[in-house]
Amino acid sequence: MINNFSRILGNSLLKSSNLLPLNRRLFPVDKSPFPESSSVLSLIREKKLSYRFVFSPEVKTNRTAFSLLKTIYASNEIPDFLLVHFPQLDVLTHREGINSIRKRELVTEIDSIIAKTTDLLSKDSHVITFSDHGMVAVTGYIDIIGKIRHLNLTKSDYVVFLDSVMARFWVFKPSAFRKIKVALSQEVNGTIIENQNEDMVNKFGNIMFVCSIGYIIFPNYYDPINPPKTMHGYIPSSFGSPLTGIFLADGLSKKFMKVKSSMTDLMPVLKHFIENR
């Protein structure tokens, strides 16, 4: 996927937006990002449970997702584990902002769909509603390209990948490393991280710039022309930040959930239901 993505960028977006070229050799495939943990899918397969994941491009709207759910429930092939993604909310919130009218309408729509879905389920079923992140309003932009363009570096000196909230540099010469570090250190709305471990360098470069919450890198490889109004993916500054998202579970016993739930409880909750199926 990274190779295809970088090829598309190299052929189109980079030419029009003056973003720096990618080097596809520097993006290895990480087949096991959490080697110490079992995935939900491996647990499901271990228990020999039936499952189905409903994602884009199979569904492009929330209502399409619900229509597909009704079809599944009306059949005699309801899986033991069903994961459904409602695709519209993330994209629209990026584009229109946290407090837009359309965003509130979508939240209401999803809430209604969840209520109707719960009514379709049998009494021994469980519904878990969660988001993988929250959103914060973008309050400022950081032009990483502008900061390093005047350093008189060549394409053989470094390669950079510009995400929305993180810039990853693979720098090949000590002199170029020093120049880039000095240029990045002048930006107060972010943090510089130097990676020493070989595995970290392969994945994230030998120097990174991470934006403070509320700031984004623009232009970047995902948004070369129109900046989003909200963003996620920041390093949380403290527990309970607006980036933690939502996590609601139906039918959890007080014995199992002894403390207030948070996003980090999602995996053990799913594991609990799967192992006790």
Q: What is the pLDDT along the chain (277 residues), one digit of tens a residue?
A: 444 554 455 444 444 434 444 444 444 444 554 445 567 888 888 989 999 888 877 888 888 888 888 888 888 778 889 888 888 899 999 999 988 999 999 989 988 888 888 887 777 788 888 887 888 999 999 999 999 988 999 888 999 999 999 999 999 999 999 999 999 999 999 999 999 888 888 888 999 999 999 999 999 988 888 899 999 888 766 545 555 666 666 555 444 444 555 555 677 778 877 877 7
Q: Looking at the structure, do residues 155 and 78 belong to the same domain, yes or no?
A: no
Both tokens assigned to 188: 């107060």
Q: Which CATH number goes with the domain that contains 159?
A: 3.30.1360.180
21 in a structural domain: no
Q: Looking at the structure, do residues 121 and 155 belong to the same domain, yes or no?
A: no
Q: Looking at the structure, do residues 173 and 201 belong to the same domain, yes or no?
A: yes
25 in a structural domain: no
Sequence-ordered list of residues with C-beta below 8 angstroms from that of 202, at least 6 positions apart, any chain: 26, 28
Torsion over CA: 131, 231, 238, 211 (sign) = positive
pTM over 0.85: no
Residue 33 confidence (pLDDT) = 46
Both tokens assigned to 69: 């759910």
Residue 250 confidence (pLDDT) = 58
Q: Looking at the structure, do residues 148 and 106 belong to the same domain, yes or no?
A: no
CB 13 within 8 A of CB 19: yes
2 in a structural domain: no
How many domains does the chain fold into?
2
110 in a structural domain: yes
Amino acid code (one letter) for 34: F
Which residue range(s) make up the domain with 249? Answer: 40-132+245-275
Exposed (0-12), middle (13-18) or buried (19+): which is 218, by Cβ within 10 Å?
Answer: buried
Q: Looking at the structure, do residues 174 and 112 belong to the same domain, yes or no?
A: no
Q: Looking at the structure, do residues 100 and 163 belong to the same domain, yes or no?
A: no
Residue 257 confidence (pLDDT) = 47
Q: Looking at the structure, do residues 214 and 159 belong to the same domain, yes or no?
A: yes
Give CA–CA dist 169/41, Å, rounded: 34
13 in a structural domain: no
Q: Looking at the structure, do residues 219 and 266 belong to the same domain, yes or no?
A: no
